[in-house]
Structure formats: structure tokens, C-alpha cells
Amino acid sequence: MFKKLTLLFVLLISMFSTSLKSQHTEPFRPGEFLIQLQQANDIHAIESAFQKRGLAAVETISERFHIYLLTFNNKALDQQLMLHDLKSEKTVINAQSNHTLSLREGDELDSIPDDPNFNSQWSLQNTGQGGGTIDADIDATDAWTITHGGLTVLGDTIVVAVVDGGTDKDHEDLDFKHNWDEIPANNIDDDNNGYIDDVMGWNAYSNTGYMPDHSHGAHVCGIIGAMGNNGIGVTGVNWNMKVLPIAGSSTSEATVVKALSYIYTVRARYDSTNGQEGAFVVSQNNSFGIDQGNPDNYPIWEAMYDSLGRLGVMSAAATANASWDIDVVGDVPTAFATDYMVAVTNTTRADKLYTAGYGDTAIDLGAPGTAILSTILNNGYGTKTGTSMATPHVAGAVALILAAADSTFIADYKANPAEKILMIKNYLLQGVDTLPTLMGKTVSGGRLNVYNSIELLLNRPILTANPSLLHEEIAPNSTIQSDLSLSNTGNDTLTYKLTIPEDAPWLSLSADSGVLAPGHSDLIMVTFDDNGMDTGLYVTQIHATTDAAGSKDIPVYMHVTNFVSVGNTIDNSNPVIVSPNPFSRQAKISFMLNRSTGVTFSVYNLQGKRLYQKTRLMLPGVNAFYWDSDGVPKGLYFYQIETSSWSKSGRLVKK
């Protein structure tokens, strides 16, 4: 009987929670819909199908993601019926109403003098000023003993994007990211990135490079990166970094999606050009949203966070400025399920939860957000309060952590951005100062502490493999072994597990798991067995996963050949020489022949796909092939030189 009553109580609570969410009416723009299509050309079929239904206009929101805004001029339009019909189209991936939203600035407290006075910035160093609690801050001053921010150890200029109403583009204490490949005000897309005149960010409202003045946006920018130690005004979480402003935080959800798509474009361009173009955006700030919004109705917005996360961009989002349990009433965006967002609530100078949303599932952590001194319009300084002010502390912390990261982590971040940015998020949540008012009300149970998060990163275990790649030539129907050494070069113990894909039965390991103390190594015997296999190149990888150091893939190549010994054809005193190696465009592969023969030269990628092949009749003496790699991304490749009587292969590295 007791179990039945308990079950009934749980069901009633569930129904009550669902009822609270369903009772809230989310504001949308009548007659406007956002759709995401499978292919760009599918929009023509949509236009044709809905022309008689009153389709008035189509606007491209994101060409890359095939997202469009549809506007209907039929005043009798039933919004839900039309949405149902759009979702029924086979070419539509997502369809939703275009919702309205608003900035999340709470009530402003009394302003304070805008004199240069770091002592007034309690969120960065709380000495008890204004009746606060000593050390109720993010420990910024401790973090600054490690880094002031701005650059990675590999020299990348770190950028934080701010989607807001605009900013103060001429503020003396703000340093913005400029696109030097774009000529101002010539109405030409000089850098061919799809945006005209985006010299300093983008205006998603007007689809122009014009950046409007906006005090809220200027305040957010200053919290993240007001220039420190310059004798002017205030300092941000980062002393020396670039802020990328994007106007597009309110009125229309479609505008927000356009703004997020711009961030994706500039970061993807940075990656594809090896830092020559675009911007190294590592986090982006969203201090706006829809109170009690149901995340299920906003699939496109949430998917944009996932897309940014896969590039290594963490989104920081402000929750509602009301004492609501977000797990019960819902919220957009802070109730999104995406892993690539940090949902932030507001704490006071006394380390208390302010009047703001909470939820031990939806809201990740708290950050200072009451009476925060920062930059405002007209070279001014003032205080604002709200989750809008808490969130940029977190967006700025992501940038500061990456500035403190060692070269191993930054290299891994560039190779595996989605995985490593999630590690940064974990360090944010693990590094909090736990607070009684946040325990049971946030995922982490605490308030941001950027110094603790940096320490977690710098003291993490680090898994290294030697060699970093296994490559063996083996005669048919034989077995050979190679040594693989796994080491922990970090400062904490790690547990690892090794797996091999099922389609590589020719490879086996002497051990598939282990525990490594700092400075210790394990020797793994790797066995190659090609019995019953044809000659050729076989490619796979050993996948190493750890409890605290992410994952690592060790490429494995097995070249099965009848001519393992090539000494009788290639003079051992003149082996195959690749120059330069690494190379940037063209590699020369030279070798010695002792007789005339036909030679085939091939290049393969890491997946074993042949990218290039050429066969030539060559004379005795020194010979060479040239591989022009234009259009091929940087990375590791393999060459194979083969005749009727011998074979040789090796590595090519494009930088």
C-alpha cells in the first residue's frame, strides 16, 4: 500500500511539473517560422508548396546550416496548424515558430563613481567592501598570478564573442577583434566569408557591419575583457584579450540564430586557414532568453550550441531573473540539454543566491552578478545587476583557462576541440567554491572560482604514447610484435582503457587497461598477425580513453608485402628521403635504383584511402617523385613506392 501511495505521489508531482510548463505561453512572432532543411535547394520546393498558403518572404538565416525564416501574410493563419504542416514536409529537419525574447538585466542598484578603482570590483577580489563576505569572489587575483589572458601558449589570439544589443565600439577600456581582411564601408565582402563590411563583428538585426551603441552589451564586454593594468577604468576577467561583438540578442529568435551562425563561420574559418583568417573564438556569451520557455520548441537554437561546441566554442547562458525552479517551469536557453552550454545563475557579494533561477539539473553554477562595476556607454563606468552580469564572468573564465593551458592541452584542443572544451566545462564545475545556498540548486553546488579551475587543468594527468604511431611492414602469413609505451606525464593518477575496432582482428594487445601514477609508464606489446590476409596496406587505430585526460587515438598501419627486404634494390646507404618533411605544399620523395624498372608511387590518408598514384619507368641511379598536396588538409599521410620486386613505405607530414 505504501509503495502504491509513493508511486501516486511521484506521478502527481510529474503531472504538476508538466502542467506548470504547459501553462506558460511563450511569445512568438505571428506568421513567422524558422525551418532547417536537408539541402539548400530544398527551399525552392518549400516556396512552391506554400505559395498558395500566403508565403510572403523567405530570408536566409544561415546558409551553412540551411536555416530559413518564412513569413506569411495571411492574417487568418493558424500558427500551430501551419507549424504542423511545415514539420510534415520530407525535406524539413526542424521547424518552429520564431519566438520573441528579451535581455536579462535585473534591477540596477545604486551606481558608484566611475573612477579607476579595482577595489570596487568585488566579484574579482572581495575584501569585504560594501558589507560583503571576504573571498566571496572568483579568485581572479590568484588566477592572474598564472596568466593575464589574451594569448594561448602557442600564440593564438583568444577571442570571446558577445551576442547582445550592441556595445560601445569606441570605449577607451575595451579591445575589440577587428577583421583586417575587410575594407570598411565599401559594401563588398572583401574576405569572401559571406558577410559584407564585418570589420568589427556583425549586426544580425540589419545584416550589416554597423555596430549599434548599447549599454548592456558594453557592460557585458567589460566584465569579460576590460583592459587591465592600463590605468583606466576597470579590469575584466581577462586583462588582454579581444571581444567580438555581435548585435542580435532580442526581439527575434531568428536574429539570434543568425548571430550564432556568424560565430560559427569566423571560428571555422580560423581553423581551416590555420589562423590566417577568422577568429579564435573559444566561448560566447548569451545574456538573454525566454522566461519559462519549453526547450522542445527551440530545436534550431539548441542545435547551434551543439555545432559551436564541436568547434570548441563553449556557450555561457544567463538564466531567468526570478526565483523559479528551472527544472520545473523550464527556460530557454538554460534548460537546453546540450553539453556545450554552461547555465549560470546570480550570486551576491555575500555569496548568497540572488533573485534568480535555480535547478540541480538545468543550472550549472553561480557567478557574481549583483552590483557589478563595468564599462557602459560614452566611455563610462557603472553598476548593473542580473544574471546578465553573472554569465560573462563564466564566458571570460573559459578564455582565461585556455590562456593558462600548457602546449600539450592546446595542441589536443585544436585536434579534438569538442572533447577538450567539455574538459574545460568540467574544470569550471569541479573548481567551484561550494555554497549552502547553491547546494541542491545547481549541478555543481557552487560559485565560479577560475583559479581552482586553472589549477585542475594544470595538474591534470596527461597520457602520452611512444611511438605516437605504429607502422610495420610484414611478410604474408607471419606475426611480428611492436612495443607501445603509455606514460602519465601529468601531476595526478589516471586510469586508461585501450580498445581496437572490430574490423581489425589482425591486431592484438598484451593488456587493455591500467592505472598510471604521475611519471610512470606501462609497456604494451602490440602483435600484428596477417595470416590469411592479402597483400596491401591495412589501417586502424588503438583508442585510449582515460578517466581524467580525455581520449587519444594511436594510428596503426600494417603493410603486408612479399618484399619486406628491399636491400637488393634500394642501396641501403641511400634510403628513401622525403624533403622537406614536414612540408607545406610539395614533398620530394627520392630514392636509388640499381636497375631500370617500373615504379608506382602512391599516397594514402589515415583512413587508408588512396589520394594519389603515379607509375613511371625509371633508370638506374637517383630518382624522385613529387607530391603536390594543394587542396589536401594538413596532417599525417603515408607514401608507398612499389615495383615488381620490392616495396617501401613511410610517413609524410603536411604542416
Q: Show the cell assigned to 223.
A: 566584465
Q: What is the pLDDT of residue 262?
A: 98
Residue 364's φ and ψ, nearest 5 degrees, are -80, -45
Lowest-confidence pick of 278-282, 367-371, 478-482: 478-482
Specify the CATH class of 577-654 in words. Answer: mainly beta
Domain with CATH 2.60.40.10 in the chain: 463-560
**572 pLDDT higher than 60:** no
The stretch 311-323 carries a mean pLDDT of: 98
> In whole angstroms, what is the distance from residue 220 CA to residue 167 CA?
9
**Cα dihedral angle (174, 177, 181, 186), rounded to 10 degrees?**
-50
The stretch 61-89 carries a mean pLDDT of: 87
Check if the beta carbon of residue 525 is closer than 8 Å to that of residue 542.
no
DSSP state of 646: -
- The third-level CATH classification (topology) of the domain covering 463-560 is Immunoglobulin-like (2.60.40)
Which residues pair with residue 616 across a beta bridge? 599
Lowest-confidence pick of 269-283, 309-323, 440-454, 479-493: 479-493
Distance of CA 333 to the CA centre of its chain: 17
Q: What is the pLDDT of residue 292?
A: 97
Return all residues near 293 (Cβ < 8 A) that are at least 6 apart.
Answer: 24, 26, 99, 330, 331, 332, 333, 335
Return all residues near 87 (Cβ < 8 A) that are at least 6 apart.
Answer: 95
The stretch 501-526 carries a mean pLDDT of: 94
Q: Is the peptide bond before 333 cis (omega within 30 degrees of 0)?
A: yes
Other beta carbons within 10 Å of 597:
16
Helix (H) or strand (E) holding 98: strand 92-99
Domain with CATH 3.40.50.200 in the chain: 102-458
**194 pLDDT higher than 70:** yes
- Residue given cell 550570486 in the structure block: 347
**565 pLDDT higher than 50:** no
DSSP state of 298: -
pLDDT, the chain, mean: 89
End-to-end CA distance of the chain: 70
Return all residues near 641 (Cβ < 8 A) that are at least 6 apart.
Answer: 576, 589, 591, 599, 600, 601, 625, 647, 648, 649
Distance of CA 68 to the CA centre of its chain: 24
Domain with CATH 3.30.70.330 in the chain: 24-99
Q: What is the pLDDT of residue 76?
A: 61
Q: What is the pLDDT of residue 237?
A: 96
**352 pLDDT higher than 70:** yes
Q: What is the pLDDT of residue 108?
A: 56
At what angle are helices 450-458 and 387-404 packed, to 10 degrees?
30
- Closest by CA position to 138, among listed 440, 365, 460, 314: 365
Number of H helices, E strands in the chain: 12, 34
**107 pLDDT higher than 70:** no
Farthest CA pair distance, the chain: 93
**566 pLDDT higher than 60:** no
CATH of 102-458, one of 3.30.565.10, 3.40.50.200, 3.30.460.10, 3.40.50.150: 3.40.50.200
19 pLDDT band, cuts 50/70/90, is very low
**304 pLDDT higher than 50:** yes
Residues 86-102: tens digit of each pLDDT:
999 999 999 999 998 87
**536 pLDDT higher than 90:** no
More confident residue, 273 or 106: 273
Q: What is the pLDDT of residue 12?
A: 42
563 pLDDT band, cuts 50/70/90, is low
Q: Show the cell assigned to 280.
A: 579564435
Amino acid identity, position 355: T
Lowest-confidence pick of 455-459, 505-509, 574-578: 574-578
Alpha helices in 405-543 (DSSP H): 407-415, 417-430, 450-458
The stretch 59-83 carries a mean pLDDT of: 86
**114 pLDDT higher than 60:** no
Q: How crowded is the C-beta side of 492, counted as CA atoms within 13 Å?
A: 13
CATH of 24-99, one of 3.30.70.330, 3.40.50.11810, 3.30.360.10, 3.40.50.300: 3.30.70.330
Lowest-confidence pick of 374-383, 514-523, 596-605: 596-605
Q: What is the pLDDT of residue 24?
A: 60
> In whole angstroms, what is the distance from residue 373 CA to residue 252 CA?
29
Amino acid identity, position 296: D
User: How would you classify residue 269: left for phi > 0, otherwise alpha for psi between -120 and 50, otherwise beta?
Assistant: alpha
SS (H, E, C) 236-286: CCCCCCEEEEEECCCCCHHHHHHHHHHHHHHHHHHHHCCCCCCCEEEEEEE
Return all residues near 18 (Cβ < 8 A) that are at least 6 apart.
Answer: none
352 exposed, middle or buried (CB, 10 Å; 0-12, 13-18, 19+)? middle
The stretch 484-505 carries a mean pLDDT of: 93
Q: What is the pLDDT of residue 564?
A: 57
Residues 243-302: tens digit of each pLDDT:
999 999 988 999 999 999 999 999 999 999 999 999 999 999 999 999 999 999 999 999
More confident residue, 536 or 493: 493
Q: What is the pLDDT of residue 75?
A: 64
Check if the beta carbon of residue 220 is closer than 8 Å to that of residue 162.
yes
Q: What is the pLDDT of residue 16?
A: 44
The stretch 113-139 carries a mean pLDDT of: 89
Q: What is the pLDDT of residue 109?
A: 47
Predicted TM-score (pTM) of this structure: 0.80
**456 pLDDT higher than 90:** yes
Q: What is the pLDDT of residue 15?
A: 46
> In whole angstroms, what is the distance from residue 171 CA to residue 168 CA?
5
Helix (H) or strand (E) holding 513: strand 513-516
220 pLDDT band, cuts 50/70/90, is very high
> In whole angstroms, what is the distance from residue 12 CA to residue 10 CA?
5
